[in-house]
Amino acid sequence: MAVDYLLGDDGDIVIVNGSPQYTDTIEQSSKQQTLISLSTYKGEWDFNILAGIPWIKNENNNVSVLGKGTKQLLDSLVQQDILDRENIVRIVEYESILDTPTRKLSLSFIAETKDGSTITLNDSLAL
């Protein structure tokens, strides 16, 4: 099982009595990893410029799916990114709504993990 620092709703590491907390389950870890990955713009992270989704063009990425790509391309990239997580084996349900003017992606999916459990995500990402 992947063990990660547990992140709070504000994105910071959860600290209790001076000690960092860790994820307890594959579901918790996989959900957190997915949210981080989907919020990463391809080319922005210097340690791995290939990580993330090519949401917008930047000095390390010449592709932009926001505004120029099709909804089908966007969904394909997002679904592949979900499936690239270490413990996710398949997507059971998937739905997305892109509001291009506000650059907000509303995402809802259920994915199955290696141990047969599922993770559910209903969230909006500000792109």
pLDDT score, position 2: 58
In a domain, 97, yes or no: yes
Task: Determine, yes or no, domain membership for 8.
Answer: no
Residue 5 is assigned to a structural domain of this protein: no
Q: What is the CATH number of the domain that holds 23?
A: 3.10.450.40
Residue 96 in any domain: the answer is: yes
Residue 3: inside a domain:
no
| Domain extent for 75 | 15-126
Instruction: Give a yes or no: residue 109 inside a domain.
Output: yes
State the total domains in the chain. 1
Determine the pLDDT at residue 9.
86
**pLDDT per position as a tens digit, 37-54:** 998 999 888 898 888 899
Q: Residue ranges of the chain with pLDDT lower than 70?
A: 1-2
Let me know if residue 91 belongs to a domain.
Answer: yes
**Residue 9 within a domain:** no
How does pLDDT run across 50-66, given as a tens digit for each residue? 888 998 888 998 888 88
In the block, tokens 């870890």 appear at 29
Considering the entire predicted model, what is its pTM?
0.85
